[in-house]
Structure 1
Amino acid sequence: MFKITKKSDDRVDIDLSGQLDSDMMAKGLDELITQSEGVTNGKMLYRITSFAMPSFGAIGVEMARLPKLFGLLGKYDRCAVLTDAGWIRTAAEVEGALIPGLSIKAFGLDDLEEAEAWLDS
């Protein structure tokens, strides 16, 4: 599952679970790009459960959309990642250290209130 929900003018939530195939990846990324139109100083809540590596086709779809995805970086200031996998939390925080202008903080799956408070701070 790859679900995008625009919670407000400056916030998008992403729910990702299981393995993504090329169709799910294409629909999800296109929806993310569409829902991000007009966003400035945005916040993103990314919930990842039961993660499985995407199919090769899904990775190809993502690579084809990289230019548009890089364009999203300037729209968002903060990203909270909720996940049940420790290695994903670590990877998210490393990614946040490498992307200028985007603060990424990882939380346990049950820490929604803490993540929401951090996004709003």
Structure 2
Amino acid sequence: MHNVIRVDPDRLDLEIGGRLDRDAMVALLDLFVARSEGIEHGVMLYRIHDMDLPSLGALAVELSRLPLLLRTVRRFDRIAVVADAAWVRRVGELEGALLPGLEIRGFAPEHAGDAQTWLRSARD
């Protein structure tokens, strides 16, 4: 399951589960860009569960759209990554360290409430 929901004017929730093939990646990235339109200094809750590695076609789509994705991600100040796999949370935090002005924190699913609190604290 893959979905992008505009929760508030400055918040997006992105959910990924299962395998991403080329077509699913195209649809997900298009939805992500469209639903984040107009967000400034936003926050994102990024839930990743039961995810398989994406197909080579999906990775090629992501790489081909990297400049657009980087511009879109710059609309956000904070991203909370909620994932079962510790390595996924760590990779997210590493990405945050590489992108100036973006703070990414990883949370285990049992700490999803802490992720919500952390995102809300960005608005205070």
* Counterparts of 2:23 and 2:42, CA distance in 1: 27
Normalised TM-score (structure 1): 0.96
* Counterparts of 2:63 and 2:111, CA distance in 1: 31
Q: Which runs of 5+ in 2 are unaligned?
A: none
Query: Are the aligned partners of 1:2 and 1:25 in contact in 2 as well (CA < 8 Å)?
Result: no
Query: Are the aligned partners of 1:83 and 1:108 in contact in 2 as well (CA < 8 Å)?
Result: yes
SS at match of 2:37: coil
Q: Which runs of 5+ in 1 are unaligned?
A: none
Where do 4+ consecutive residues of structure 1 move more than 2 Å? none
1:34 aligns with 2:1: no
Query: Are the aligned partners of 1:92 and 1:105 in contact in 2 as well (CA < 8 Å)?
Result: yes
Aligned to 1:43: 43
| Identical-pair percentage | 43
Aligned residue pairs total 121
* Counterparts of 1:40 and 1:100, CA distance in 2: 15
Supply the RMSD in Å over aligned alpha carbons. 0.9
Cα shift readout 1:34-79 (whole Å, capped 9, x = no counterpart): 0011000100000000121100111111112112101113210000
